[in-house]
Amino acid sequence: MRLSDIPHGDSVFIDANIFLSEILEGVEFSKEFGLLSNDALHLAVMTGNNLVNLASNDPDFEGVDWINLCKP
Protein backbone atom coordinates (compact mmCIF):
# COMPACT_ATOMS: atom_id res chain seq x y z
CA MET A 1 0.00 0.00 0.00
CA ARG A 2 1.23 3.46 -0.86
CA LEU A 3 0.49 6.59 1.17
CA SER A 4 -1.37 8.01 -1.82
CA ASP A 5 -3.81 5.06 -1.57
CA ILE A 6 -4.96 6.09 1.91
CA PRO A 7 -8.12 8.22 1.94
CA HIS A 8 -7.65 11.83 3.04
CA GLY A 9 -8.33 12.25 6.75
CA ASP A 10 -7.33 8.72 7.77
CA SER A 11 -4.50 8.28 10.26
CA VAL A 12 -1.30 6.68 9.06
CA PHE A 13 1.09 4.83 11.32
CA ILE A 14 4.40 3.67 9.93
CA ASP A 15 6.33 0.94 11.68
CA ALA A 16 9.92 1.83 10.88
CA ASN A 17 13.20 0.26 11.79
CA ILE A 18 15.60 2.94 12.98
CA PHE A 19 19.07 2.56 11.53
CA LEU A 20 22.36 3.83 12.94
CA SER A 21 22.63 6.24 10.01
CA GLU A 22 19.29 7.78 11.03
CA ILE A 23 20.43 8.13 14.62
CA LEU A 24 23.58 9.91 13.47
CA GLU A 25 21.55 12.12 11.14
CA GLY A 26 19.27 12.88 14.09
CA VAL A 27 22.28 14.11 16.06
CA GLU A 28 23.08 16.50 13.21
CA PHE A 29 19.44 17.71 13.02
CA SER A 30 19.51 18.28 16.77
CA LYS A 31 22.54 20.53 16.39
CA GLU A 32 21.30 22.28 13.25
CA PHE A 33 17.77 23.07 14.42
CA GLY A 34 18.21 23.01 18.22
CA LEU A 35 15.79 20.10 18.58
CA LEU A 36 15.48 17.55 21.35
CA SER A 37 16.82 14.15 20.38
CA ASN A 38 13.40 12.56 19.89
CA ASP A 39 12.26 15.41 17.61
CA ALA A 40 15.49 15.22 15.62
CA LEU A 41 15.05 11.47 15.24
CA HIS A 42 11.57 12.05 13.81
CA LEU A 43 13.16 14.23 11.13
CA ALA A 44 15.84 11.65 10.37
CA VAL A 45 13.26 8.89 9.94
CA MET A 46 11.19 11.22 7.77
CA THR A 47 14.13 11.89 5.44
CA GLY A 48 14.90 8.17 5.25
CA ASN A 49 11.33 7.54 4.10
CA ASN A 50 11.02 10.59 1.82
CA LEU A 51 8.34 12.20 4.00
CA VAL A 52 7.86 15.95 4.27
CA ASN A 53 4.46 16.27 5.97
CA LEU A 54 4.33 16.36 9.76
CA ALA A 55 1.34 16.90 12.04
CA SER A 56 2.51 18.37 15.34
CA ASN A 57 1.74 21.22 17.70
CA ASP A 58 5.40 21.36 18.73
CA PRO A 59 6.66 24.87 17.84
CA ASP A 60 10.24 23.58 17.66
CA PHE A 61 9.50 22.17 14.20
CA GLU A 62 8.64 25.64 12.84
CA GLY A 63 12.33 26.31 12.20
CA VAL A 64 12.66 23.34 9.84
CA ASP A 65 12.15 24.79 6.39
CA TRP A 66 11.88 21.55 4.41
CA ILE A 67 8.83 20.09 6.20
CA ASN A 68 5.17 20.91 5.75
CA LEU A 69 4.04 21.41 9.33
CA CYS A 70 0.35 20.89 10.03
CA LYS A 71 -0.87 21.96 13.44
CA PRO A 72 -3.98 19.91 14.24
26 or 19, which is more confident?
Answer: 26
What pLDDT digit, counting tens, does each position of 23-58 carry? Answer: 899 999 999 999 999 999 999 989 988 999 999 999
d(C-alpha 67, C-alpha 37), whole Å: 17
Mean pLDDT of the chain: 85
d(C-alpha 72, C-alpha 51), whole Å: 18
pTM for the whole structure: 0.73
Q: Residue 1 — pLDDT band, cuts 50, 70, 90?
A: very low
Nearest to 56, CA basis, from 38, 29, 31, 30: 38
What is the per-residue pLDDT for 16? 59
